[in-house]
Structure 1
Amino acid sequence: MWNLKILYDSDEKWIKYYEEYAKEMAILETPKIELNKLEEIFNFIQCNAIILDDIYTYGLLRREQDVLNKDVTKGLSQIRQIYVDFNKKLELLLSFFRERRKEILDILHVDPKLKKYYSYFLNMNLNSQNEIKEIYNKIAPYDRYMEWYGSFERIGEDPRTHQEINEFNLLNYLKSERKEERRLVYHAVEEFLKENSEIAAGYLNTHIQLNNYAASKCGFDDSYSYFTANNTLCKNAKEFLIHYKSIFVDINKKIVEVKKSMLCLDTIGYEDMYFLSGELEYNISIDEAKQIVLESFSKFGTEFQQITKKALYENWIDSENYDGKHSGQRSYSSYRSHPYITIPWNGRIDDLFSLAHEVAGAVGQWFAAENQEYIYSELSIVKVEFLSALGMLYLSEYLLENRNFNKIEKLVKAKVIDFLKDSLMVPFEFSLIEMELYSKGVKQKLIVDDISDIWYSVIENFHDVSNFEEMRINRYNWVRHDHLYLNAYDFRYIESFLIALSSSEKVTRKNDKFIKLLRLGEKVTDKIFFDEIEGKRESRFLVNEAIKKVYNLLEECEK
């Protein structure tokens, strides 16, 4: 369990603090808008940003611990409104920044006291969308979806035993050795999702329409183009997804075929995608997993490994598993303390990979925040997920190469295949779905059938292999996926994972440069960061090398 007293002693003190801060924000005055007041202006922005980071991070962490806590949900909503109020205060400053941008850059470039703000200002988004953000915050479709879906004590019933299925025991059912049990449970959950799809469609459509409206104000066709505009992989994310779709469909079909063979199944279905033969016989404790991750991270270099030890053994991780806890694995950065990681521990090999994923990203965040201005302290999504992907790649290589794991060699290989599926194939599928949803949402309101048709057409295409048992009701599976609210996060995941596949050996050879780059945080753009590691080359060569590595790993696991 985390020690959140580093941030606030109790929920009551947190509530009292953000309520008082909200009152202060209402009467807060911005500094005078003059070129000779730049230091005061930037200090004003940074000091308030640190306060907001503290109160918001605490709320997010408490939501992880208790997803049904209404005080926490209410608090997060109110804090988002404080963000909106703060952004209103900044509107005149942003206008000043836009009008005098060149002069300000010239001053920041030469003034010794102000040089530290140069990179921040150079990459600053000077577009003001405060009115739209305020509307989104008041309607809060994502928060309402999370609260609504999190309120379900059951998401189905086991048709054989009549026991309740929920988000906390669903994976246990899908790990059953009996295929028929897996299929019945999967179908029962889909029936429940179908029954609740109308409400889910309302939340998702609202999210998409509000974001599309915001994107149109910035000159974009839809929000997907807006969210993916500044990626490091390609000029146009939509064109990239369309161009590589057939290649990734073929890879996923290969994975499904290999999985069917490994499981010795005559037919395979969606319910089998989570099952690993022999997994139930292999139970790994959190302490064993920590040692394995620590050893496998030697490829990151000594310094990275030292901070990994801190992450593993100095209470960064909450591994408790109980009803009411937010399902899934995540990490959160915190400027005033250390990153926080949540992994509900079940003792499976899945958890081992999740640990490597979350710890690698969190350690990178620690380096970025070390002795650093707040404005540069939080790594971009792409950098964090790049580190997370590297962590799982290094773990995969460690397990495949280490003779100590020969007894579970089949399980390790099966898990590496699932790792490729979950870390590359699933994000690619979700990206295509999200892209099509935003595109269609420009023209019309999205109802259940619109969302379900888009979801199922993509998922079906990726699993169209011989002897695959279709399940039409799987078209409602989108109801339980909050990734569709995360604003092209899955494309960032594809981007970072492909770069990680291509550059994993280069990071091992350039440990010192790698750590120096992490310590610079967001002083360096994603492009500069990856150019320094990867070298400047066309993305098609990088992607082709990554795809080749995927096939090499698949071949290794088929042996």
Structure 2
Amino acid sequence: MVKQRNEIKVEKTWDLTSIFETDADFEAELARVDAKIDAARDLTGRLAASSADLLFVTEALLELSRLVEKLFVYASMKNDQDTTVSLYQEYQAKVTSLEAKYSEVFAFYEPEFMALSSETLSSYVAENKDLVIYQHFFDKLLANKAHVLSNAEEALLAGASEIFGSGSETFEILDNADIVFPTVKNEAGEDVQLTHGNFVSLMESSNRDVREKAYKALYSVYAQYQHTYAKTLQTNVKAHNFVAKTRKYSSARAAALAHNHVPEAVYDTLVAAVNKHLPLLHRYMAIRADILGLSELKMSDVYAPLSVLDYKFTYPEAVEKAKETLAIFGDDYLKQVRRAFDERWIDVEENKGKRSGAYSGGSYDTNAFMLLNWHDTLDNLFTLVHEMGHSMHSTFTRTTQPYVYGDYSIFLAEIASTTNENILTETLLSEVTDDKTRFAVLNHYLDGFKGTVFRQTQFAEFEHAIHEADQHGTVLTSDYLNTLYAELNEKYYDLKATDNPEIQYEWARIPHFYYDYYVFQYATGFAAASALAKKIVHGTATDKANYLDYLRAGNSDYPLDVIKRAGVDMISEEYLNDAFAVFEARLDELESLVKKGAHK
């Protein structure tokens, strides 16, 4: 059975006392920040009066944002470590309300800023040198001028932000705290309670009966609650579409991508390139069936191990391999990696009520914490270096940039993490001395590419389709969502929907569908990371320096310009085609190893 939180060894938990030493300290700071936000109401109408006022109001906006973010990190991570604890549910709800209040109070900022003429703004920056640092911040605001509303309208939207997030919050509580999955048999024939965390391990079982039963057990629960999940997702989509329409965007996708100054063509180019290369995925599925000796592959088989080699890492072994692999970036990078392990930035093990999956989080004034649900698998080693990539990106950005630029675009977020994954693949392939181990590493890479480039683009197609459907008046019932998802899944995997009825419910368990056009960036990020990893492993010292500069850049420039200086043009399809070329070459090598019997 899954451990209770208090059964986890302290050294395997993250140290949130580095944010607030006690809950009482958090509560005191919450009250203090709440009062400061109330006091900020007096700033309305003042921004444009002088250069000094523009500076004062801008710095007040950023200071309070910084304080609220720190509170959010503590509350949300306390809640994530055990979502059944009502106190931390309450903390997260209070900070969410505080965020909405902050947004409401400062809703005047953008409308008042947009009312400044370009001449006035230029004169203010010229006469007050302390405003110069905010020039790029101002430029980004002006780029969205057509979508900023009046003071009253902005305040109304800001005040409703908590309501707009209700679909996502309901999904999170339902999926992490309330849903109970059945008990199933593991490979040893033991009864285990099915969880989000161990489902992946069960899907990687070499015993097809274990896979099928776990698969059907999980999706029987989602089938049971499909109508509730459809309602939470529909609520979320409607919120995205409503806000986009209110702000005069052509679609929710246009609004989401404009936030990061990414043209929609990047999204469409990804989908087109992936669809063009779907035969490679179909070929990989066929190889899977042959290796597994199956006349008919099922969706419950797509994660089954193809290698007989039990290539596993314990957590201590994974820590050492991560340090060894990431040393390629140099001493400064490795020093921060060591801090993450030594100073307990990582919450390692699964416990009852813990949020599923893995992530890197934190704010400008906290460590770049990581949440894991560790199992001794090769995949979890990759997850560790993936999340470490995020955390190092955050750390380098926050220690280089001022707060105003101390974060980075979501569009760039997945590049640093998947660059680490690609480098780990290169490292392992360079170390292996036998065909069986090489086969195992290639299998993992191909599965990772499948899951990150192909699968996330499938998600991206689904996400855009449901937003467009709602925009055009289609009701997102569970029947509609099931049918759409099943058709897309059949197109991608070339496995008949009628032979895989459970997969139609998969949309219900994917939290990223609540993240407002996030998922496509996993795919673009992986493809860009493929190019960057090649430069780091096989390139020059300048290539490494350019990459570290990308980590340090934060929001100091537009994301496409930041990554272009590191050596990748993401407007072009070329970086995607290059990534598919690597996939195909490694697929060819896997096939050659199969002929040699390396999988047996």
213, 221, 226: which one pairs with 1:184? 213
Partner of 1:123: 140
What residue in structure 1 maps to residue 481 of structure 2?
451
- Which residue is equivalent to 2:79? 63
Pick from 571, 584, 590 the counterpart of residue 551 of structure 1.
Answer: 584
Tell me the SS of whatever aligns to 2:196: coil
Deviations 1:379-434 (A, max 9, x none): 22222210011000000111111136766333222211111112111110100000
Tell me the equivalent position of 1:414.
443
Which of 171, 178, 188 is the aligned partner of 1:152?
178
Cα distance, 1:383–1:101 mapped onto 2, change above 3 Å: farther
User: Does the alignment pair 1:141 with 2:175?
Assistant: no
- How many positions carry a matched residue from both structures? 558
Change (3 A) 1:547 1:177: closer
CA distance, structure 1, for counterparts of residue 470 and residue 464 of structure 2? 10
Structure 1: distance between partners of 2:309 and 2:82: 28
CA positional deviation for 1:457: 1.0
Q: For structure 1, which segment, 124-133 or 214-223, has the greater mean C-alpha deviation from structure 2 after superposition?
A: 124-133
Task: Provide the C-alpha distance between the structure 1 equivalents of 2:552 and 2:94, rounded to a whole number of angstroms.
Answer: 33
Of 482, 494, 510, which aligns to 1:464? 494
* Residue 28 (structure 1) shift: 3.1
Aligned match for 1:362, one of 356, 368, 391:
391
* Superposition map of 1:109-508 within 5 A: 111-124=128-141, 127=148, 129-138=154-163, 140-152=166-178, 154-158=180-184, 164-229=193-258, 235-236=264-265, 239-240=268-269, 243-277=272-306, 281-403=310-432, 408-442=437-471, 443-464=473-494, 470-507=499-536, 508=539
Partner Cα separation in structure 1 for residue 394 and residue 376 of structure 2: 26
What is the match of residue 67 of structure 2? 51
Aligned mates of 2:303, 2:490 — CA distance in 1: 17
Q: Which residue of 2 aligns with 1:10?
A: 22
Shift of residue 179 of structure 1?
0.7
CA distance in 2, matches of 1:535, 1:199: 42
Contact in 2 for aligned 1:228/1:237 (Cα 8 Å): no
Shift of residue 185 of structure 1? 2.1
Q: Deviations over 1:529-559 (max 9, x none)?
A: 1221226585122222222222223223333
Greater CA drift, 487-496 or 144-153: 144-153
TM-score scaled by structure 2?
A: 0.86
Query: Does 2:565 align with 1:532?
Result: yes
Give the superposition deviation at 1:97. 0.9
CA shift in 2, pair 1:181/1:538, >3 Å: closer
SS at match of 1:158: strand
Q: 1:359 and 1:130, CA in 2 relative to 1: closer, same or farther beyond 3 A? A: farther
Report the secondary structure of 1:265's partner residue.
coil
Which string of whole-angstrom CA distances, capped at 9 and with x for unpartnered residues, describes residues 163-190 of structure 1? 6423233233323221122112212222
Supply the distance in 2 between the matched residues of 1:130 and 1:426 (Cα, whole angstroms). 38
**Contact 2:267–2:520 (Cα < 8 Å) also in 1:** no
**Partner amino acid for 1:147?**
I
Provide, for residues 18-59 of structure 1, a one-character-per-residue CA deviation record: whole Å limited to 9, x for no partner: 244334423434443222322212221121011101100111
Specify whether residues 48 and 347 from structure 1 end up closer, same or farther in structure 2 by C-alpha distance, changes over 3 A only.
same
CA contact (8 A) 1:333 1:378 kept: no
* 1:541 counterpart letter in structure 2: E
Q: For structure 2, list consecutive stretches of 5 or more residues without a partner in the other structure.
A: 1-12, 593-600
Report the Cα distance in structure 2 between the residues aligned to 1:380 and 1:433, rounded to whole angstroms: 23
Distance 1:71 1:531, change over 3 A: same
Flag the 1:279–1:73 CA change in 2: closer, same or farther, 3 A: farther
Contact 2:182–2:194 under 8 Å retained in 1: yes
- For residue 475 of structure 1, report the CA deviation from its aligned partner: 0.7
Distance 1:232 1:21 in 2: 31
* CA distance 1:241–1:80, shift in 2 (3 Å): same
1:35 matched to which residue of 2? Answer: 50
Superimposed CA distance per residue, residues 461-508 of structure 1 (whole angstroms, 9 cap, x where no aligned partner) = 111159x98211321121111111011111122222222223333345
| Greater CA drift, 337-346 or 495-504 | 495-504
Cα RMSD after superposing both structures = 2.6
* Cα displacement (A) at 1:437: 0.5
Q: 1:3 to 1:279 in 2, by over 3 A?
A: farther
Say whether the 8 Å CA contact 2:233–2:514 is kept in structure 1.
yes
Mapped to 1, the partners of 2:193 and 2:349 lie a distance apart of 21
Verify the 8 A CA contact 2:125 2:132 in the aligned structure 1: yes
**Counterparts of 2:167 and 2:498, CA distance in 1:** 35
The alpha-carbon deviation at position 110 of structure 1 amounts to 6.7
The residue type equivalent to 1:505 in the other structure is K
1:106: how far off? 5.0
2:534 is the counterpart of 1:518: no
One-letter amino acid matched to 2:101: D
Percent identical among aligned pairs is 18
1:83 counterpart residue number: 99
CA, structure 1 residues 544+406, in 2 after alignment: closer, same or farther (shift >3 Å)? closer
**1:106 & 1:407 partners in 2: Cα distance?**
68
> What is the distance in 2 between the residues matched to 1:516 and 1:176?
42
The separation in 2 between residues aligned to 1:472 and 1:120, in whole angstroms, is 49
Give the TM-score of the pair, scaled to structure 1: 0.92
- Which residue identity lines up with residue 138 of structure 1 in the other structure? I
486-495 or 282-291: bigger deviation: 282-291
Of 113, 121, 141 in structure 2, the residue corresponding to residue 104 of structure 1 is: 121
> What is the CA deviation profile of residues 173-221 of structure 1, one whole-angstrom value per residue up to 9, with x for unaligned ones?
3232211221122122222211101111111111111110111122233
Which shifted more, 280-289 or 143-152? 280-289
Gaps of 5+ in 1: none
Alpha-carbon distance in 2 for matches of 1:323, 1:114: 49
Give the aligned residue type for 1:202.
K
Distance change >3 Å, CA 285–CA 425, structure 1 → 2: same
Amino acid at match of 1:549: V
